[in-house]
Amino acid sequence: MVTETSLMAYFEVLATLGEKQQKVFNVITNSDGLTNMEIADILGWSINRVTGRTNEIVKMYLVKEKEKRKCRVTGRLASAWE
């Protein structure tokens, strides 16, 4: 169970996201877990644009690593975010 104060803190942090961070966050939360390259493919962005945003929102504890698996874009082992 999530406490009311934790939920309030979550929404406060969420409100501080920049536009690009918000787009990456939305793609991740509307999926069953995506790698950075899969996110880049969905958004039509370069991998460099995605990786920085992913790292930022991980540091904010808004997303976390779900698993390491084969990326559907590159075929290589990569972290999938949830």
Element (H, E) at 6: helix 4-15
Task: Please state whether 44 falls in left (phi above 0), alpha (psi between -120 and 50) or beta.
Answer: left
Total H helices, total E strands in the chain: 4, 2
**The token pair that represents 41 in the structure block:** 């493919």
Whole-model pTM? 0.85
Measured in degrees and rounded to the nearest 5, phi and psi for residue 78 equal: -155, 160
Taking only the tens place, the pLDDT of each residue in 16-70 is: 899 999 999 999 999 999 999 999 999 999 999 999 999 999 999 999 999 999 9
Residue 66 is predicted with a pLDDT of 97
Encoding tokens for residue 10?
């979550």
pLDDT at 14: 72
Domain 4-81 part of CATH 1.10.10.10: yes
Query: What is the per-residue pLDDT for 54?
Result: 97
